[in-house]
Amino acid sequence: MVLRIVTALILIPVVIWVLFRGGTGPLYLLMLLAGSGLMWEWNRLKGGVDALPLAMAVGVGAVMLALPLTPLKELLWLLPAVLLPALMGLGVWRYQADKPVLDGMLLLMGGLLYCVAPLVWLLEVRLRFGPEWLGLLLIVIWSTDTGALFVGRGFGGPKWIPRVSPGKTWSGFWGGTLCGILGGAGAAYAFSLAIPTGRAIVLSLALSVVGQIGDLAESVVKREAGVKDSGRLIPGHGGLLDRLDSLLFSAPVLAAYLIGVDLLER
């Protein structure tokens, strides 16, 4: 418990400062470290591939994360056209060397989609729309987690999806969702975001529910892998996937909303 608290007291202020006050360099470095750590954990959970394909996937992830920092961010949509031939070209080389191909390629592409792509959208939100929107996202996720924990423990009741997560209840789901909505609406007001109250409630509802689905998705991956934690990269807290599972699912939803509104209002 002491290690958990000390780690939180050190890491949380650093991460918050970089996200809200950091320049382009620290932001990119933070996302690159997070993306590399997530890819390593994903690789470990799903059985692993050789070091070369993993290093190549991390390199592709580094390029993906760099796109929002450049005026060529429209190339983000062209990345799959480059990524797929590159990885499959590596697959041909591995097959020629009499090594397994299909499982490893699917593992790496799935890891880029699951672990790195959401960080690209998170970076895009921060740079294009401002850190206040990240504040709303984080408050929705934290409020949802806190509400689900305390309401679920306090009221109990029927299990939500017991095969995936036996400890989660319907009362926890609804309690977490309500707290997420209240937290998001409060954040929109506190940060003076340009969003009507009704729309802030609907957006917070979507972020809360999708975040909880992300939590369940990571639970499925861990159950298939037969492990309790995704890793030990964060002392006292487990792995990055354990801490960022909700964020990885909800960040693209926030990005889709903001980019969609921006396009409609032009």
pLDDT tens digits along 204-251: 999 999 999 999 988 888 888 777 877 776 665 668 888 898 999 999
How confident is the prediction along the chain (266 residues), in pLDDT tens digits per residue?
555 565 666 777 888 888 888 888 889 999 999 999 898 888 888 776 667 677 777 887 887 888 787 766 655 555 555 565 666 565 555 555 555 555 666 677 778 888 898 999 999 899 999 999 999 999 999 999 999 999 998 888 889 888 888 889 999 999 999 999 999 999 999 999 999 999 999 999 999 999 999 999 888 888 887 778 777 766 656 688 888 989 999 999 999 999 898 888 77
Residue with tokens 């299990």: 159
**pLDDT tens digits, 42-67:** 888 877 666 767 777 788 788 788 87
β-bridge mates for residue 169, sequence order: 159
Q: How far apart are CA 103 and CA 83, in angstroms?
A: 17
Of 41, 254, 48, the C-alpha closest to 141 is: 254
Continuous segment of H or E residues that includes residue 261: helix 240-264
Return the CA Rg of the chain: 19
Nearest to 248 by CA among 224, 221, 225: 221
User: Of 183, 163, 184, 162, nearest to 172 (Cα)?
Assistant: 162
Predicted TM-score (pTM) of the model is 0.86
